[in-house]
């Protein structure tokens, strides 16, 4: 009987211990379009996350690969559940790093025709090309995920890998995503003491539901088009230039947004007041002169 | 003897299996699971042309892609719909707190829609998030949304034994549960009035000295909302009325415009992984801007 009670106590202790540690059920998935490719052949890897119904609102991580075997062609973010990129996927020494958030949280993609099941969400699509023959790995590091709990609690996924076999034969195959839609642009000119010392700054978010946005350019007044990233310190700090922003997706489709000048050309309210004061002074002087003449 | 031992082991196993799920998974109970999400393929046949002209007749229009949202907020209050973090439409709920609103002009793709309400005093509800895969030409209906109440308190510090007013707005004549998170946690039940307003005067004599939190949720018929974000207050030796703040109390509203949106995100992104950061952008006070700060901002996002 004593043994039995001890067993019960042990079980209760074990269960309580389990309940105080958060079980990180989320995991990453690497989904490849082709596992066996030739030299010169392009393929993609979708980096996906299954949150197991946990609501997350931030992701930070990296993907590594061997550049002896593979070349990164591009990173497509069009299908991503991330809506604001803190750090867009950039390649640096065979490492593709990224970080982003999804406001109000993501707990799995809902298919409205079958809403009972939530599907894993795509984080990013990486397009590679076979460079030299051999077996090679694409590795995803343990991802840092923040819970949508108001405190930014961090959980981690385990690392994951996928393997690609590159044949000696050469076969030039270009992977192109279908994209008939143009990107959308949200942009504002703003001033804030914590952003370029209160200078006029352009902030924007571009979005493309298929391939993702390749380039964003700006044209201030009559100046030339220039490739930029958000936030962008405007060259013209007078606030009197028309600003055009153009977003181009990986299929070459583009859209342009025009922002009217912050300050209107011509007379401002301040100028009108000065003008009015000068007129009044002139009238008073004229009137005084007239009275003085009459008195004489 | 052997039979007796076997029986004990079976009893032990049954107890273990019975209680394990309660302890391990009990914290992840999902509320608001009565939200309904359904979809139909939109018809692309236009209705026949108006009579009298003789000609015309039905034409083929591109099928509309629509997402309809409906549910309950607060009487005559504003309800906002965000598409991928940007406000795309807002509406005013009726005197019974019911709202219904649609988002159109969508192409095929993944979208994250969010819904939140704002009461007459500008206090905001918790956001609902719906990450959806939308196919062009479909009508998606998201119904039975039941927004959390709004909540506020009249004092930041209250003298033990004095009253603390806990108030806010929800659906008219709904059952409000107020939680005061202390050790132990207290629950108080009241009813909102015909305008959805509720007020509970908490006698703080029952609370220990120190920091406490309060939050509320609402229920009507079979619908139950999620809890509000918790508000903190102190039980001490003096009473301090909550000061009117010049800047928004929303965590993440860096430019004090009462919204947490792209502009605030851009300010924070400017300081990401930099040193000597302004205190305002460091939301968790760890002297650096990391994913955690962005996560706090994302939680409080208003678009």
pLDDT of A244 reads 98
Confidence of residue A24 (pLDDT cuts 50, 70, 90): low
Distance from the Cα of B38 to chain A's closest Cα (Å) equals: 5
Structure tokens at B245: 């703040």
Question: Which of B62-71, B125-134, B240-249 shows the lowest mean pLDDT across its residues?
Answer: B240-249
Torsion of CA B25, B30, B34, B38, to 10 degrees: -90
pLDDT of B228 reads 95
- The answer to whether residue A196 neighbours chain B at the CB level (below 8 Å) is yes
Confidence of residue A263 (pLDDT cuts 50, 70, 90): confident
pLDDT of B167 reads 97
Distance from the Cα of A287 to chain B's closest Cα (Å) equals: 49
Of B110, B129, B267, the CB nearest to A105: B129
Distance from the Cα of A141 to chain B's closest Cα (Å) equals: 16
Rounded average pLDDT over A120-147: 96
Cβ(B115)–Cβ(B69) below 8 Å: yes
pLDDT of A210 reads 86
Q: What number of residues does chain B have?
A: 303
Distance from the Cα of A38 to chain B's closest Cα (Å) equals: 31
Phi, psi of B96 (to 5 degrees): -90, 5
Rounded average pLDDT over B234-263: 88
Question: How far is it, in rounded angstroms, from Cα B172 to Cα A102?
Answer: 33
User: Under the phi-then-psi rule, with left for phi > 0, alpha for psi from -120 to 50, and beta for the rest, what region is B2?
Assistant: alpha
Of A158, A143, A171, whose CA–CA distance to A34 is shortest? A171
pLDDT of B52 reads 42
- pLDDT at position A192 over 70: yes
What pTM does this model have? 0.81
Rounded average pLDDT over B260-268: 97
pLDDT of B244 reads 73
Q: Chain A partners of B39 at a C-beta cutoff of 8 Å?
A: 112-113
Structure tokens at B3: 């039979």
Rounded average pLDDT over A199-224: 94
Rounded average pLDDT over A127-140: 97
With a pLDDT cut of 70, the percent of chain A lying above it is 89
Rounded average pLDDT over A15-19: 41
pLDDT of B60 reads 64
With a pLDDT cut of 90, the percent of chain A lying above it is 73
pLDDT of B243 reads 79
Q: Considering just the CA atoms, what is the radius of gyration of chain A in Å?
A: 30
- pLDDT at position A54 over 70: yes
Name the packing angle between helices B2-25 and A2-20 (round to 10°).
20
Q: What is the mean pLDDT of chain B?
A: 86
Structure tokens at A102: 């999804």
Choose the mutation target among B10, B19, B66, B131 for the interface with A, i.e. most A CBs under 10 Å.
Answer: B131
- The answer to whether residue A13 neighbours chain B at the CB level (below 8 Å) is no
Judged by CB atoms closer than 8 Å, whether chains meet at A109 and B297 is answered as no
pLDDT of A26 reads 84
Give the pLDDT confidence of B3-57 residue by residue, as tens digits: 555 565 555 555 544 444 433 333 333 335 578 999 998 765 444 444 444 444 4
Cis peptide leading into A103, omega within 30 of 0?
no
Judged by CB atoms closer than 8 Å, whether chains meet at B132 and A109 is answered as yes
Q: How many CB atoms lie within 10 A of CB B243?
A: 7
Host H or E run for residue B8: helix B2-25
Name the packing angle between helices B262-270 and B291-299 (round to 10°).
170
Give the pLDDT confidence of B158-194 residue by residue, as tens digits: 999 999 999 999 999 999 999 998 889 999 999 999 9
In the numeric block, the tokens 């229009």 are attached to B61
Higher-pLDDT residue of A13 and B239 is B239
- The answer to whether residue A130 neighbours chain B at the CB level (below 8 Å) is no
Task: Show the 3-state SS of chain A.
Answer: CHHHHHHHHHHHHHHHHHHHCCCCCCEEEEEECCCEEEEEEEEEEEEEEECCCCCEEEEEEEEEECCCCEEEEEEECCCCCCCEEEEEEEEECCEEEEEEEEEEEECCEEECCEEEEEECEEEEEEEEEECCCEEEEEEECCCEEEECCCCCCEEECCCEEEEEEEEEEEEEECCCCCCCCCCEEEEEEECECCEHHHCCEEEEEEECCCCCEEEEEEEECCCCCEECCCCEECCCCCCCCCEEEEEEECCCCEEEEEECCCCCCCCCHHHHHHHHHHHHHHHHHHHHHHHHHHHC
CA-based end-to-end distance of chain B: 70
Give the pLDDT confidence of A233-246 residue by residue, as tens digits: 999 999 999 999 99
Judged by CB atoms closer than 8 Å, whether chains meet at A106 and B269 is answered as no
The nearest alpha carbon in chain A to B284 belongs to A151
Structure tokens at A235: 């060259």
Question: Which of A259-263, A270-274, B103-107 shows the lowest mean pLDDT across its residues?
Answer: A270-274
Phi, psi of B270 (to 5 degrees): -60, -30
Distance of CA B5 to the CA centre of its chain: 52
Distance from the Cα of B289 to chain A's closest Cα (Å) equals: 11
The nearest alpha carbon in chain B to A55 belongs to B129
Give the pLDDT confidence of B83-126 residue by residue, as tens digits: 999 999 999 999 999 999 999 989 889 999 999 999 999 999 99
Q: Enter the ipTM.
A: 0.81
Question: How far is it, in rounded angstroms, from Cα B261 to Cα B296?
Answer: 12
Q: Chain A partners of B82 at a C-beta cutoff of 8 Å?
A: 103-104
Confidence of residue B131 (pLDDT cuts 50, 70, 90): very high
Question: Which of A88-92, A123-127, A265-269 shows the lowest mean pLDDT across its residues?
Answer: A265-269
Choose the mutation target among A104, A199, A212, A245 for the interface with B, i.e. most B CBs under 10 Å.
Answer: A104
Chain pair A-B, CB pairs under 8 angstroms: 200
């Amino acid at each position: 009987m004593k043994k039995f009670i001890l067993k019960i106590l042990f079980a209760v202790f074990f269960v309580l211990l389990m309940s105080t540690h958060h079980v990180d059920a989320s995991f990453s998935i690497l989904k490849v379009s082709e596992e066996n490719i030739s030299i010169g052949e392009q393929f993609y890897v979708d980096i996906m996350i299954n949150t197991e119904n946990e609501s997350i609102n931030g992701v930070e991580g990296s993907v590594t690969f061997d550049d002896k075997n593979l070349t990164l062609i591009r990173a497509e973010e069009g299908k991503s559940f991330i809506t604001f990129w803190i750090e867009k996927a950039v390649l640096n020494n065979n490492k593709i790093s990224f970080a982003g958030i999804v406001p109000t949280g993501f707990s799995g993609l809902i298919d409205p025709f079958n809403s009972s099941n939530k599907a894993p969400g795509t984080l990013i699509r990486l397009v590679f090309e076979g460079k030299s023959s051999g077996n090679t790995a694409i590795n995803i590091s343990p991802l840092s995920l923040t819970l949508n709990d108001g405190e930014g609690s961090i959980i981690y996924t385990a690392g994951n890998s996928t393997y690609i076999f590159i044949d000696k034969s050469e076969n030039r195959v270009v992977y192109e995503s279908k994209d008939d839609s143009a990107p959308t642009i949200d942009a504002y000119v703003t001033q804030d003491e914590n952003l370029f010392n209160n200078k006029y700054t352009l902030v924007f978010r571009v979005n493309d539901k298929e391939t993702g946005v390749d380039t964003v350019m700006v044209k201030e007044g009559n100046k030339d088009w220039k490739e930029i990233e958000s936030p962008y310190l405007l060259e013209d700090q007078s606030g009197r230039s028309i600003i055009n922003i153009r977003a181009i997706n990986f299929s070459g489709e583009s859209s342009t947004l025009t922002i009217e000048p912050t300050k209107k050309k011509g007379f401002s309210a301040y100028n009108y007041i000065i003008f009015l004061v000068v007129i009044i002074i002139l009238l008073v002087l004229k009137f005084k002169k007239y009275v003085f003449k009459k008195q004489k | 003897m052997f039979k007796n031992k076997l029986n004990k082991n079976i009893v032990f196993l049954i107890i273990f299996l019975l209680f394990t799920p309660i302890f391990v998974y009990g914290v992840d109970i999902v509320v608001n699971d009565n939200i309904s999400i359904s979809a139909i393929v939109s018809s692309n046949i236009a209705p026949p042309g108006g009579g009298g002209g003789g000609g015309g007749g039905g034409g083929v229009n591109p099928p509309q892609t629509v997402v309809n949202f409906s549910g309950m907020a607060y009487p005559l209050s504003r309800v906002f719909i965000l598409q991928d973090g940007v406000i795309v439409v807002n509406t005013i709920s009726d005197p019974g707190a019911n709202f219904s609103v649609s988002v159109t002009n969508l192409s095929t793709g993944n979208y994250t829609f969010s819904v939140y309400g704002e009461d007459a005093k500008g206090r905001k509800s918790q956001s609902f998030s719906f990450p959806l895969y939308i196919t062009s030409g479909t009508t998606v209906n998201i119904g039975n949304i039941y927004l959390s109440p709004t909540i506020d308190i009249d004092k930041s510090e209250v003298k033990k034994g004095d009253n603390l007013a806990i108030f806010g707005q929800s659906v008219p004549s709904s059952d409000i549960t107020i939680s005061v998170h202390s050790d132990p946690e207290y629950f108080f039940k009241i009813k909102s009035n015909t305008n959805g307003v509720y007020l509970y005067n908490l006698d703080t004599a029952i609370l220990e000295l120190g920091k406490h939190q309060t939050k509320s949720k609402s229920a009507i018929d079979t619908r139950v909302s999620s809890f509000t974000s918790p508000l903190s207050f102190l039980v001490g030796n003096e009473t301090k009325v909550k000061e009117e703040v010049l800047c928004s109390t929303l965590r993440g509203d860096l430019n004090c415009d009462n919204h947490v949106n792209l502009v605030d995100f851009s300010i924070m992104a400017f300081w990401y992984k930099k040193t000597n950061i302004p205190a305002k952008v460091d939301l968790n006070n760890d002297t650096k801007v990391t994913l955690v700060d962005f996560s706090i901002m994302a939680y409080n996002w208003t678009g």
